């Protein structure tokens, strides 16, 4: 199913609902504001606390412009023990393993429930997860642990950076370039904000806050700047896009507030000094929360037990929905089949042996919840 992010995932959601209906399992959609996408929640097992959330996103990244050698949306099994197709690794393989285990979950005599939490539009900035997590906390008994099945080769990942992306729009006033006193130069104002963001980048790089990550600090990117018409016109509008990827300690509102304050206190008065016109607006384009290490929290303990992983808890460079679950007070780790190296590429593939490992993991979760 083509569930490329920003399109619709309702075909997939409908498929999962039908599967759950076949087993008499109630489920609930949490719709996107425009109604084109849905998160899905379901509880299998008794309505008691202490369950385990198995969560994955249903969207995938685009295939357009990539040199696929076969139809990306028809899964292909090759002779080399691999499955090919968009999303097999990131992350429909995990979802398929979980759904295939539903009959086992029903027969196992669960003492505590498995909670299924499927999100939409993770790939464009964990867009669906916040409303999914809100509803889960509101409607379902409090779980013991959350497992995000993103590709980690079944290793236990306890921390990742966040992603916060913004568009800053400067509205100025145009005039003949010989009359700047009657104008408000939007490009000049945006450039000062861009320079401020880059100064933050330098300061954070020097501070080097968190050695578990590569690089060990919050990174920034001044990405695009777009404004101005001609050499003899004072520009009236400029649009700046920028992002930062905070280590868990920086994953609050503090950094963006610093930028907003600078724009308001330093840039805006300068912009308005000639004509009195000028406005600066910030749009949040994406906000993926960081995942912070819980130092042996329930989710990590469970996943170590089930995978036999005894090494150091790992961090990854990519973001997941997990930070939103953790921000709601739920113990969360990332652990799933396949490698991120095969995600987002043409001819995306996953080893069947990885899916087997994930199936054993889900069996272990079921067993844990019957004890």
Which positions touch Zn ion (CB under 5 A)? 90-91, 150
Roughly what angle, to the nearest 10 degrees, separates helices 186-207 and 254-262? 140
Nearest residue to 268 via CA among 170, 183, 354: 170
Nearer to Zn ion by Cβ, of 165 and 187: the residue is 165
Active site residue 363: no
Nearer to Zn ion by Cβ, of 150 and 250: the residue is 150
Nearer to Zn ion by Cβ, of 9 and 168: the residue is 9
Nearer to Zn ion by Cβ, of 91 and 247: the residue is 91
Active site residue 206: no
Rounded to the nearest whole angstrom, what is the least distance from the CB of residue 41 to Zn ion in the complex?
19
Contact 303, 156 (CB under 8 A): yes
- Strand, helix or coil for residue 203: helix
Nearer to Zn ion by Cβ, of 44 and 148: the residue is 148
Roughly what angle, to the nearest 10 degrees, separates helices 298-307 and 352-370? 120
Contact 335, 307 (CB under 8 A): yes
Contact 154, 231 (CB under 8 A): no
Distance from C-alpha of 152 to C-alpha of 341, rounded to nearest angstrom = 10
Which of these is catalytic: 17, 90, 121, 122? 122
Which of these is catalytic: 59, 121, 250, 321? 59
Rounded to the nearest whole angstrom, what is the least distance from the CB of residue 125 to Zn ion in the complex?
12
Rounded to the nearest whole angstrom, what is the least distance from the CB of residue 83 to Zn ion in the complex?
16
Distance from C-alpha of 336 to C-alpha of 334, rounded to nearest angstrom = 7
Nearer to Zn ion by Cβ, of 150 and 251: the residue is 150
- Tell me the two tokens of residue 263: 């724009």
Contact 239, 167 (CB under 8 A): yes
Rounded to the nearest whole angstrom, what is the least distance from the CB of residue 143 to Zn ion in the complex?
21
Contact 30, 39 (CB under 8 A): yes
The dihedrals phi and psi of 329, each to the nearest 5 degrees, come to 90, 15
Rounded to the nearest whole angstrom, what is the least distance from the CB of residue 4 to Zn ion in the complex?
13
Distance from C-alpha of 197 to C-alpha of 222, rounded to nearest angstrom = 7
Distance from C-alpha of 56 to C-alpha of 8, rounded to nearest angstrom = 16
Rounded to the nearest whole angstrom, what is the least distance from the CB of residue 152 to Zn ion in the complex?
11
Active centre residues (catalytic): 59, 122
């Amino acid at each position: 199913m083509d569930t490329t992010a920003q399109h619709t995932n309702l075909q997939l959601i409908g498929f999962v609902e039908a599967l759950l209906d076949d087993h008499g399992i109630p489920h609930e959609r949490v719709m996107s504001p425009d109604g084109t996408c849905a998160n899905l929640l379901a509880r299998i097992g008794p309505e008691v606390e202490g369950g385990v959330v198995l969560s994955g996103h249903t969207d995938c990244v685009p295939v357009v412009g990539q040199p696929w050698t076969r139809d990306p949306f028809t899964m292909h099994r090759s002779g080399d023990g691999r499955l090919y197709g968009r999303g097999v690794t990131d992350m429909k393989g995990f979802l398929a393993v979980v759904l295939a285990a539903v009959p086992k979950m029903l027969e196992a005599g669960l003492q505590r429930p498995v909670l299924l939490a499927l999100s939409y539009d993770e790939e464009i900035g964990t867009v669906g997860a916040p409303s999914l997590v809100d509803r889960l906390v509101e409607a379902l008994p409090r779980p013991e642990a959350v497992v995000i099945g993103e590709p980690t080769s079944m290793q236990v990942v306890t921390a990742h950076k966040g992603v916060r992306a913004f568009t800053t729009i400067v509205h100025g006033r145009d005039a003949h370039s010989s009359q700047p006193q009657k104008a408000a130069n939007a490009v000049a104002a945006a450039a000062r904000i861009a320079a401020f963001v880059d100064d933050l980048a330098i300061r954070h790089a020097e501070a080097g806050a968190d050695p578990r990550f590569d690089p060990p600090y919050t990174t920034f990117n001044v990405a695009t700047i777009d404004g101005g018409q001609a050499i003899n016109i004072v520009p009236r509008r400029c649009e700046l896009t920028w992002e930062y990827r905070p280590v868990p300690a920086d994953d609050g509102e503090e950094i963006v507030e610093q930028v907003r304050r600078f724009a308001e206190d330093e840039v805006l008065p300068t912009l308005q000094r000639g004509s009195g016109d000028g406005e600066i607006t910030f749009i949040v384009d994406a906000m993926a929360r960081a995942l912070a290490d819980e130092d042996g929290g329930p989710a990590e303990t469970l996943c170590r037990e089930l995978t036999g992983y005894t090494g150091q808890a790992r961090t990854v460079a990519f973001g997941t929905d997990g930070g939103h679950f953790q921000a709601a007070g739920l113990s969360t780790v990332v652990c799933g089949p396949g490698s991120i190296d095969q995600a987002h590429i043409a001819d995306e593939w996953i080893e069947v042996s990885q899916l087997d490992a994930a199936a054993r993991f889900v069996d272990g979760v079921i067993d844990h919840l019957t004890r």
